[in-house]
Structure 1
Amino acid sequence: MPKKRGYHHGNLRQALVEAALKLIEEKGPTGFTLSEAAKEAGVTPAAVYRHFEGRDDLIAEAARQGYEIFADVMQFAYDKGQPSALAAFEATGRAYLAFARKYPGHYIAMFESGISVNRTPELAAVATRASGVLERAASDLSEHIPPEKRPPASMFSAHIWALSHGVVELFARNSPGRHSPFPPEDLLESGIGVYLRGLGLIEADD
């Protein structure tokens, strides 16, 4: 009798998360059942409840792991851009797009599943760590703006997060019926450029 895949991995909890990520990519966060996740992991449905109370609990764990990866990706981009505040800031914006492309299941669990980042203390903590990297990059860059004209770093970073998220949602994830004549990377870079020129942080184009 073949060994069930979930137990073969030696970590049933993680096997279930990986199964959920695959199903999320294929069917969306509400398009699968716990029984399907169990089947994908190669275990019985009853085994799922030893680790997760329900589907939302499973998706929340997928989101938590996604935020861990996301925070690391953002931190790497920020560090790579140093010592230039501008390079570090722009790198974190591009890292958002790169993450969404490389980890679509995690991205959906994090931003499209309806799971609150405050569902668990662990999820809230890592989500805060991820957003903190972008806010720190914004704060570094805003030091070059006179204090009386300087937007709060949290607002500054929220604007760029929203811009990055919009580009991902509309043009980087094959949204039905939508097509841009420009690569998502170019859209994001030009959008950030317009924003930063408006703040006087980079020179206007000739």
Structure 2
Amino acid sequence: MRKQGYHHGNLRQALVDAALELITRQGPTGFTLSEAAKQAGVTPAAVYRHFEGREDLIAEAARQGYEIFAEVMQRAYESGQPSALAAFEATGRAYLAFARKYPGHYIAMFESGISVNRNADLALAASRARAVLETAASELSQHIPPDKRPPASMFSAHIWAMSHGVVELFARNSPGTVAPFPPEDLLESGIGIYLRGLGLIAPDK
């Protein structure tokens, strides 16, 4: 456990970092504020200088997670350019990579029960992350006539849900599940089938 003095530098961030470690090990409801304070090396009373309660602390962990997530997705999107399809597929792979690299943030964002509308900063960070995938979806569908074009927000949400499902079932060692194929392959093939069904990419010959 880190032992840092009461007056150490960014106490607020130290508490978030402590919460992330506890969330990863024990889940979002498996720790107390006192444990987070102990992990950060401060007294329990010090927590309330920065957070109203455990949910407030988890919400900040989620907000920071969405900020990282948006940056990861943006880099992935840009790495796939100039191909709209490659950029779109890269964002899906980035979802899996984020879940593996930042498990505490991922759990705080998607498994803690904290609403993205809990506060304005959290809502804004979540919106920024969704916007990257919607931009990729919009560019992918530009060749389809507007009257036949599916809403980018709809099919980007479907891909988000598909990515989330692959992560939950096969990329995070869920008890009793064994992936028949690597998670990346499952997601890529699923995205391909879905996009062909919408007419967004040409069918296999």
For structure 2, which runs of at least 5 residues remain unmatched after alignment?
none
Where does residue 88 of structure 1 map in the other structure? 87
1:43 is the counterpart of 2:45: no
AA paired with 1:31? G
Deviation sequence 1:165-193 (CA, Å, 0-9, x none) = 00001110111111112110010000001
Deviation sequence 1:51-92 (CA, Å, 0-9, x none) = 111000000000000000000011111111111111111111
Identical aligned residues as a percent: 84
Is the 1:135–1:157 Cα contact (8 Å) retained in structure 2?
Answer: yes
Where does residue 140 of structure 2 map in the other structure? 141
Where does residue 176 of structure 1 map in the other structure? 175
Where does residue 192 of structure 1 map in the other structure? 191
Q: How many Å separate the matches in 1 of 2:5 and 2:99?
A: 27
Q: Which range is displaced more, 75-84 or 144-153?
A: 144-153
AA paired with 1:135? E
Q: Which range is displaced more, 105-114 or 148-157?
A: 148-157
TM-score normalised to the size of structure 1? 0.95
Q: How many Å separate the matches in 2 of 1:8 and 1:164?
A: 42
Q: How many Å separate the matches in 2 of 1:126 and 1:201?
A: 28
Where does residue 19 of structure 1 map in the other structure? 18
1:78 is the counterpart of 2:45: no
Name the SS for the 1:119 alignment partner.
coil
Where does residue 154 of structure 2 map in the other structure? 155
AA paired with 2:132? V
AA paired with 1:99? F
Q: Which range is displaced more, 78-87 or 53-62?
A: 78-87
Where does residue 100 of structure 2 map in the other structure? 101
Where does residue 66 of structure 1 map in the other structure? 65
1:54 is the counterpart of 2:53: yes
Name the SS for the 2:86 alignment partner.
helix
Per the TM alignment, residue 204 of structure 1 is displaced from its structure 2 partner at its CA by 2.5
Q: How many Å separate the matches in 1 of 2:149 and 2:200?
A: 11
AA paired with 2:154? M
Q: How many Å separate the matches in 1 of 2:7 and 2:185?
A: 44
Is the 1:6–1:12 Cα contact (8 Å) retained in structure 2?
Answer: no
TM-score normalised to the size of structure 2? 0.95
Is the 1:6–1:15 Cα contact (8 Å) retained in structure 2?
Answer: no
How many corresponding residue pairs?
A: 204
Per the TM alignment, residue 9 of structure 1 is displaced from its structure 2 partner at its CA by 5.3
Where does residue 119 of structure 1 map in the other structure? 118
Q: How many Å separate the matches in 1 of 2:189 and 2:145?
A: 24
Where does residue 128 of structure 2 map in the other structure? 129
For structure 1, which runs of at least 5 residues remain unmatched after alignment?
none
